[in-house]
Amino acid sequence: MYYSNKDLRIEEMPIPKIGADELLVKVMASGICGSDVMEWYRKKKAPNVLGHEIAGEIVEVGQIFRSAYKKGDRVFVSHHVPCNECSYCKKGYHTLCDTLRTTNFEPGGFAEYIRIPKINIEKGGVYLLPQEMTFEEATFIEPLACVIRGQQLIKVQKGDTVLVLGSGISGLLHIQLAKVYGAEKIIATDINDYRLKAAEKLGADVIIRDNSQSPTPNLQPPITANRIIICTSALRAFKQAFYSVERAGTILFFAPTEPGIEIPLPLFELWNKQVTLISTYAAVSQDINESIELIRTHKIKVNEMITHRLKLEETGLGFQIVEQARNSIKVIIEPHTLCDYSPRK
């Protein structure tokens, strides 16, 4: 149960009861997302059980869905699903859909069992895992799907130079995907040597450590790119993007800032270079299906990104590790692994 980043408690809850049009899933693995530790975003809904990067096993099937699913099926479940009927969905902006932004399973994925509502099933939110995919690998389906949607929006393709600002989990997925999509050169930045080494290992052609704490961009050597992806909320990264974008280039705002944050735009330069600014949020079925296939075929390497596997009662420790962002990349909670609730020695 999340109260704040430094206050996550083990609380006993009854196993959810399901209706005839629902599923009960035993959570086998649940990844901690960077958004989970954005306290300004999460604390307003506390107390709450978080966790949306989940993989598990169906343990109970409501009568209505027994022809489609069975006990023992291994699944990934999307917490958000679009209605596919509103004006946003009809125009292709599925992740702006009110339905998508309000649906969820119950409770969140940092629990032993979750109830999957009818709408998540009917709107295509339940995916059978390929036999060769592990539960741990499946926790990357949702974050990779979000990355896919972002790169599809900015049309990363053969010959592009891609600058990824921030080499955390999303940045590393962007690096790998840009390589899959045929980018000619991929440049990665970060303030953390551990993550820069991971970026290099996973496909970055150039890595640049940003040593400065200055609010103004000064990365050396000077860098430019026609596709820039911002994977950090650090304001200087946004300024770096404006400074580095080439003519006819596109900047993708992948990571959000807190509400109310404002930064000046170099309007003439952006106008003169005909720069496109675009944001992205969440993912839908086509992104998820592509994500599953890329992980299944190991075109996107995810096992190399797992640095911590923790028990359910160590979720608080996991949040600290993710928030501190030191020698870690992907932290996964496994609720049914060594779940004895005894303190770690």
pLDDT digits (tens, 9 = 90+) for 292-339: 999 999 999 999 999 999 999 999 999 999 999 999 999 999 999 854
Q: How many domains does the chain have?
A: 2
Q: What's the whole-number mean pLDDT along residues 224-250?
A: 96
In the 3-class helix/strand/coil scheme, how is 177-202 assigned residue by residue?
Answer: HHHHCCCCEEEEEECCHHHHHHHHHC
Question: In this structure, are 158 and 69 located in the same domain?
Answer: no
What lies within 8 Å, CB to CB, of 275 at 6+ separation is 242, 245, 247, 248, 249, 250, 251, 269
Question: In this structure, are 54 and 122 located in the same domain?
Answer: yes
341 has pLDDT over 70:
no
Question: In this structure, are 136 and 158 located in the same domain?
Answer: no
Nearest one of 325, 326, 338, 243 to 34, comparing CA atoms: 325
pLDDT score, position 212 = 62
Question: In this structure, are 75 and 121 located in the same domain?
Answer: yes
Question: In this structure, are 115 and 160 located in the same domain?
Answer: no
Question: In this structure, are 132 and 158 located in the same domain?
Answer: no
Q: Exposure of 242 by Cβ count < 10 A (0-12 exposed, 13-18 middle, 19+ buried)?
A: buried
Mean of the per-residue pLDDT values for the chain?
A: 94
Nearest one of 68, 301, 339 to 175, comparing CA atoms: 301
pLDDT score, position 345 = 31
- Asked if residue 292 belongs to a domain, the reply is no
Question: In this structure, are 61 and 78 located in the same domain?
Answer: yes
Question: In this structure, are 102 and 45 located in the same domain?
Answer: yes
- Asked if residue 67 belongs to a domain, the reply is yes
pLDDT score, position 335 = 95
- Asked if residue 343 belongs to a domain, the reply is no
CATH number for the domain spanning 227: value is: 3.40.50.720
- Asked if residue 286 belongs to a domain, the reply is no
Question: In this structure, are 203 and 78 located in the same domain?
Answer: no
Question: In this structure, are 8 and 77 located in the same domain?
Answer: yes
pLDDT score, position 219 = 62
Question: In this structure, are 49 and 122 located in the same domain?
Answer: yes
What lies within 8 Å, CB to CB, of 179 at 6+ separation is 186, 203
Question: In this structure, are 155 and 190 located in the same domain?
Answer: yes
- Asked if residue 289 belongs to a domain, the reply is no
Map residue 2 onto helix, strand or coil: strand
pLDDT band at 343 (very low <50, low <70, confident <90, very high): very low
pLDDT score, position 344 = 37
- Asked if residue 338 belongs to a domain, the reply is no
Instruction: Tell me the residue range of the domain where 249 lies.
Output: 144-279
- Asked if residue 17 belongs to a domain, the reply is yes
- Asked if residue 173 belongs to a domain, the reply is yes
Helices (H) and strands (E) in the chain, counts: 11, 15
Q: What's the whole-number mean pLDDT along residues 99-112?
A: 95
pLDDT digits (tens, 9 = 90+) for 24-76: 999 999 999 999 999 999 999 999 999 999 999 999 999 999 999 999 999 99
Q: How far is CA 46 from the centre of its chain?
A: 21
